[in-house]
Amino acid sequence: METGNIIPDFLGYNAEGNKVSASEFSGKPLIIYFYPKDNTPGCTAEACSLRDGYTELQQMGYTVIGISKDSVASHIKFANKYSLPFLLLSDPETEVNQAFGVWQKKKMAGREYMGTVRTTFVTDADHRITHVITKVDTKNSAAQLVSLLSK
């Protein structure tokens, strides 16, 4: 997905295991961030940064949604452990990751594997992508978004 595209309707599964659709957020601009794994250093830093900047992002009119391949149970533990006030969605089959183009070949320690490339998408109220952040500053992701969206 790139700037100008309308996001897919299906976004993943919520804490109750129910499907969540973009249409449920009709008329609301979204910040959708894809991250590799709950409880890892970079993902925790990013989630906590967004938690700490959540009120400001909400005041700017945005709804924040985090998406990863992790299970619903993992998301519930992660959200509770770090008091995350926003929605975390599970994408166990990587359907949403693939639709957004963030499920890609990665390399670590000489090993190649498929995984989520950390990416943040910002949409307008019609869910058309206005910004794509591929170089996410995990420790300052909320400030990075506020700076970008204040221009």
Residue type present at position 96: V
Question: 136 in a domain, yes or no?
Answer: yes
CATH code assigned at 130: 3.40.30.10
For residue 147, tell me if it sits in a domain. Answer: no
Give whole-number Cα distances, 12 to 98, 121, 137, 139, 143, in Å: 12, 15, 24, 25, 26
Q: Which domain covers residue 67, as residue numbers? A: 10-140
What pLDDT, in 10s, does the model give residues 107-144? Answer: 888 899 999 999 999 999 999 999 999 999 999 999 99
Average pLDDT of 77-101? 98
96 part of a folded domain: yes
Domain count, the chain: 1
pLDDT at 134: 97
The pLDDT value recorded for residue 151 is: 78
pLDDT at res. 108: 83
- Which residue numbers are catalytic? 43
Could you tell me if residue 71 is inside a domain? yes
pLDDT of residue 109: 87
Q: Is the pLDDT of residue 19 over 90?
A: yes
- For residue range 33-79, list pLDDT tens digits in order: 999 999 999 999 999 999 999 999 999 999 999 999 999 999 999 99
Residue 145 in domain: no
User: Is 75 inside any structural domain?
Assistant: yes
